[in-house]
Amino acid sequence: MNGHVKNMYFHQFMTPTTLLSLLLLMAVDSTRTVAASRHQQCAIALQQTLKLTKLVQTESVNLIKTYKSSQGEMSELFCKVSVNDIPDPNISGLEPSERIVSVYTHLQAFNSHVKRVYEQQTDLQLPTSPLLMELSTVSVRSRDLAVLINSFYQSLFPNLPIPEPAGGPTTLPPPQNVFQQKVYGCVVLKTYKGFLSNVAKELRTLKTKVCRRGTQTNML
């Protein structure tokens, strides 16, 4: 069978209905390929964010130990005192978009408090204090984590900008005496450690909720 005959044979059986079915199958296959690619990108971004979260969480555990050892007597009691205006370590919201926003806004608030703790401790510690170095490291990594969370949210929900915190800018404590500063710092770091643990759990949950339906979430 020569080429001309083959071409006639092909067109004889390639009816409009058959051609339409073929095009639909090609479109479905293309959509599945795009969806798989988005799922992979989502999973990679989420894994990177989780990895940094675990790192900051580990460093926060060591930071609390260093903090207590640098505060002198009664350091074990400082974390047990109640302090107002500390961010809630729990993540709120029903939908994935709301919960990611909750992680981001809480992280921003904690970053402001950790920065205040660092500022207070610079007046109480020697410049060479390991505490100042660890506080600085955790502060930098926390800001990096906020950037990753923001980027991850924007990739999933490009049509839903992150809203401003309902309560406005983060409320920081007024001037405190030395004892109050030591208590405040310990409570902030302890609460922040608990928050990071909740973030790690949340990211594991989100992996199954949002990364497997990336094409749908991008349409929101």
99-126 pLDDT tens trace = 999 999 999 999 999 999 999 999 999 9
Q: How many residues does the chain have?
A: 220
Residue 31 has pLDDT above 60, yes or no: no
Question: What confidence tier does 214 reach under pLDDT thresholds 50, 70, 90?
Answer: very low
Residue 15's pLDDT is 62
First to last CA, the chain: 54
Radius of gyration of the chain (CA): 26
Displacement of CA 104 from its chain's centroid (Å): 6
Residue 18's pLDDT is 64
Residue 54 has pLDDT above 80, yes or no: yes
* Mean pLDDT of the chain, nearest integer: 82
Place of tokens 């130990």: 65
Residue 172 contacts residue 40 (beta carbons within 8 Å) = no
Q: Six-digit token pair at 89?
A: 């370590």
Question: Could you tell me the pTM of the whole model?
Answer: 0.79
Residue 45 has pLDDT above 90, yes or no: no
Residue 34 has pLDDT above 60, yes or no: no
Q: Six-digit token pair at 189?
A: 């770091």
Residue 146 has pLDDT above 50, yes or no: yes
Nearest to 38 by CA among 135, 186, 118, 158: 158
Residue 69 has pLDDT above 70, yes or no: yes
Place of tokens 């079915």: 21
Residue 219's pLDDT is 35
- The CATH architecture to which 39-208 belongs is Up-down Bundle (1.20)
22-32 exposure pattern, b = at least 16 Cβ within 10 A, e = fewer? eeeeeeeeeee
Residue 25 has pLDDT above 60, yes or no: no
